[in-house]
Structure 1
């Protein structure tokens, strides 16, 4: 009888323990997958080589999670404890522990924290220090300067020495390979020599995250790898009947499209004009190629094209030569490459600036001349008339 009571009590206790354990598991699961304690966005940083234990303690201290133990247990249960990715990531207000695990194990570009960015532009390069405001989730500029022209602000110099700061290089569409090389040479947070300027058009405009002391040649190699991948994919999916025999010819066209318009939506239309001209045996007659022949891609031509330069027969003067110039005239971005290989279907063979930043397109010379007259009026009103002919078709 005694043993029966003991057994009964033991079973009762075991049931209570199991119910309590199940309740604890359910509560922990709710804590892991339910809304988190932070009512504002949080910048979560994962240091290089950081352990799950260190990250969980950091998250608890900054109020992003309610329990470091539950966070570790949940991460282990998802089998992601070894998948932490170095970087700084913005997580939304009230993000669950499960959401945060997903963010810090997925990786990808950092989305918050302090960053120093070298922006390589067509007209100038800038170094920019930015930091994310967790309350708004937006970057706020802290300091900037033009390398080689201005002294480096102390804030940027100090930030470059911080172990958790992100260093980025952002290359704009339409810059030349010479401009990229010169910008990398002037970036004192990089290392290594550059022996040669890469072929024009071979570098992908994009944002590149780098480490302090990164090798300049390795960065150029990565830029070239990305551009090759973009061009190969676009070439392989091109429609039938385009007037290019090789991917290089398509890249040359993309560079012309890139330099001819700053309006993204216009790229396929601009490409259609040049494709139509090639197919009809018309000269391209585009100013950017002439300018490249003058500058060799080394800097910007801060004046109009002279009549003598338009009359000179050079390899890049498409007013004087048939077909495409021998090389690209800049590094085109993905959108320009896509436009060159997927142009709109139009009958346009002329275009000229329309005064809004875009262009007026025409099918006939009569239409084009009317558009030119309107542009000349705008030029006269602005006091900007030059000896250069209008784009494509005079």
Structure 2
């Protein structure tokens, strides 16, 4: 204990650590003492063997990175190709038939000169499936349209729209004939629709639409219009059903083509219905004679206005059993909300319109004035089912609300370019207001249940 030498700090080892190095000798000099000791050699590296899973994952990551790079490069090239101007030199219309596959469409467009890479078209169309399928129809492709533009046109369905215009006042037979005159529509009409059931208008359609589909669309449009107008009609109308409104609107449609007097013409007929007066409308006589087949092509004879048919409103009371034409929306609106007047009569005024009267005496004066106008004119405005009478003392006038006249003769031969003179169906009969001033418009005359001729 007392004999042990105290060790130098350099020789002391940390407690609990064995000294596996050779004991160091005491430095021989102070300079040697401060020299750093040589670092021990590093322990030998133990080389671990890689497992199979790590190698597989590393390979997959490398492959994915390579594929992603290739995909980005491919998409860049594809976008450049599909956005490049196409081979089409001028705008061109191409019809894509229904049930045509993508490859057939690509071939068709290649043959038409719209594209020059059908395979690329198919690939790009496949990549754009989420935007929609390629549509059939008639399409306009612009000059130099890129493949991308071509796909967009077919996917978005920007097909060319054609139109067919149906004027107000045509019968159902006349409308069907007009549809058959249109060469773009296809197929047949199953049966002639009920009179008044189609809404006259201009309808847009794509190539491939059938005539029956067009009829169905027109019927749906008329039902919708009639329902809407019926809901906002005046509450004091003497008509009780939408069908009655349709019938009266068809008469108004045939009586005047002037938009500014439809509501007033409608008011005349509404006032007559309220007073239980006969409507005395010439177009109803014509419809009773020829149905919906067209026009009479001549004047109404004296005998014809005396003949009882379900449509002769000079004889029957109230409305005829059906519409006599297909009225437009404006005529329906006019009947639903007519002018607030007391008019019971109207007659042509020489300007294409009519002069209205509340009393029979006023109407007589208006008829006289019209006949004076007729005498002073060589030719006058004409329309269907009217002729020029041989006797120039005859003119247009009537006991009721009708602009046309009648004659018991064949149509006169007119000079080239001249138009026929109009005259009233009541003229020369016991209903002529200038011949029989005692005629009572309120007297009723029933008509037996006759079949339509």
Q: Give the shorter-chain TM-score range.
A: 0.5 to 0.7
Could you say if the C-alpha distance between residues 225 and 24 of structure 1 is closer, same or farther in structure 2, counting changes exceeding 3 Å? same
Contact map agreement 2:89 2:144 (CA 8 A) in 1: yes
| Residue aligning to 2:77 | 24
**Structure with a larger share of its residues in helix:** 1
> In the aligned structure 1, how far is the partner of 2:195 from the partner of 2:219?
13
Moved more, 303-312 or 48-57: 303-312
> In the aligned structure 1, how far is the partner of 2:137 from the partner of 2:71?
41
Match of 1:241 among 196, 209, 234: 234
| Residue aligning to 1:392 | 401
> In the aligned structure 2, how far is the partner of 1:39 from the partner of 1:210?
24
Partner of 1:44: helix, strand, or coil?
strand
Contact map agreement 2:251 2:324 (CA 8 A) in 1: yes
> In the aligned structure 2, how far is the partner of 1:368 from the partner of 1:56?
75
| Residue aligning to 1:300 | 295
Partner of 1:240: helix, strand, or coil?
coil
TM-score (ref. length: structure 2): 0.51
1:52 aligns with 2:102: yes
1:63 aligns with 2:113: yes
1:277 aligns with 2:274: no
Q: CA deviation at 1:297?
A: 3.2
**Superposition CA RMSD, Å:** 5.1
Q: CA deviation at 1:327?
A: 0.9
Q: CA deviation at 1:304?
A: 1.2
Q: Which runs of 5+ in 1 are unaligned?
A: 1-9, 113-167
> In the aligned structure 2, how far is the partner of 1:16 from the partner of 1:55?
32
> In the aligned structure 2, how far is the partner of 1:224 from the partner of 1:43?
27
What does residue range 256-335 of structure 1 map to in structure 2 within 5 Å? 256-261=251-256, 263=257, 266-267=258-259, 269-279=261-271, 281=275, 283-312=278-307, 314-330=309-325, 332=326, 334-335=328-329
Q: CA deviation at 1:335?
A: 3.8
| Residue aligning to 1:359 | 353
> In the aligned structure 1, how far is the partner of 2:71 from the partner of 2:214?
59
> In the aligned structure 1, how far is the partner of 2:72 from the partner of 2:135?
38
> In the aligned structure 2, how far is the partner of 1:371 from the partner of 1:69?
78
Contact map agreement 2:82 2:147 (CA 8 A) in 1: no
TM-score (ref. length: structure 1): 0.58
Could you say if the C-alpha distance between residues 336 and 317 of structure 1 is closer, same or farther in structure 2, counting changes exceeding 3 Å? farther
Q: CA deviation at 1:292?
A: 1.1
| Residue aligning to 1:157 | none
> In the aligned structure 2, how far is the partner of 1:224 from the partner of 1:268?
30
Partner of 2:93: helix, strand, or coil?
strand
Give per-residue Cα distances to partners, 1:115-144, cap 9 Å, x unaligned: xxxxxxxxxxxxxxxxxxxxxxxxxxxxxx
> In the aligned structure 1, how far is the partner of 2:150 from the partner of 2:215?
34
What does residue range 71-90 of structure 1 map to in structure 2 within 5 Å? 71-79=121-129, 83-90=133-140
Contact map agreement 1:205 1:333 (CA 8 A) in 2: yes
Could you say if the C-alpha distance between residues 17 and 109 of structure 1 is closer, same or farther in structure 2, counting changes exceeding 3 Å? closer
| Residue aligning to 2:35 | none
| Residue aligning to 1:42 | 92
| Residue aligning to 2:17 | none
> In the aligned structure 1, how far is the partner of 2:115 from the partner of 2:346?
58
1:377 aligns with 2:373: yes
| Residue aligning to 1:200 | 195
Could you say if the C-alpha distance between residues 45 and 345 of structure 1 is closer, same or farther in structure 2, counting changes exceeding 3 Å? same
Could you say if the C-alpha distance between residues 321 and 92 of structure 1 is closer, same or farther in structure 2, counting changes exceeding 3 Å? farther
Higher Cα Rg, which structure: 2
Contact map agreement 1:88 1:110 (CA 8 A) in 2: yes
Could you say if the C-alpha distance between residues 374 and 98 of structure 1 is closer, same or farther in structure 2, counting changes exceeding 3 Å? farther
| Residue aligning to 1:129 | none
Q: Which runs of 5+ in 2 are unaligned?
A: 1-62, 381-386, 403-432, 434-453
> In the aligned structure 2, how far is the partner of 1:102 from the partner of 1:374?
63
Could you say if the C-alpha distance between residues 320 and 61 of structure 1 is closer, same or farther in structure 2, counting changes exceeding 3 Å? same
